[in-house]
Amino acid sequence: MITTSLVGALMPGYAAYAASKAAVEMMAKILAKELKGTAITVNCIAPGPVATELFFAGKSEETIKRIEDASPLGRLGEPKDVSQLVGFLAGDAGELVNGQVIRVNGGFVI
């Protein structure tokens, strides 16, 4: 499941969005237990700021720079940062990861 690092950021103006994604996180944790014995795992990937067209829409260069600077890595995430984790979780290497929320945000939310 895809959620958002905004659940942990507690940013004003995002209450409804963060609340809806927090519900997704709780659903994943419960489903992970409900699917016991099926070999099906359920996890959430919670991206932080990712350099996509949707992210850039309506933001000034100043705002984008401020968000980049808020990350200890000093950059926005890239779609590949998220997709590589999806691949890991969907493959055999991720079979023991279950009921987790994994924030892919470069440390943006700590």
> Is 14 part of the annotated catalytic residue set?
no
What is the C-alpha separation between 3 and 20, in angstroms, rounded? 9
How do the pLDDT tens digits run along the chain, 110 residues long? 999 999 988 889 999 999 999 999 999 999 999 999 999 999 999 999 999 999 999 999 999 999 999 899 999 999 999 999 999 999 999 999 999 999 999 998 64
pLDDT at 29: 97
> Would you kindly state where each structural domain of the chain is located, as residue ranges?
6-104
- The domain made up of 6-104 has a fold known as Rossmann fold (3.40.50)
**What is the pTM for the complete model shown?**
0.90
Structure token pair of residue 30: 């419960």
Contact between 80 and 61 under an 8 Å Cβ cutoff? The reply is no
Contacts of 97 (CB under 8 A, 6+ apart): 41, 43, 89
Indicate which residue of 15, 17, 20, 66 is catalytic. Answer: 17
Contact between 78 and 106 under an 8 Å Cβ cutoff? The reply is no
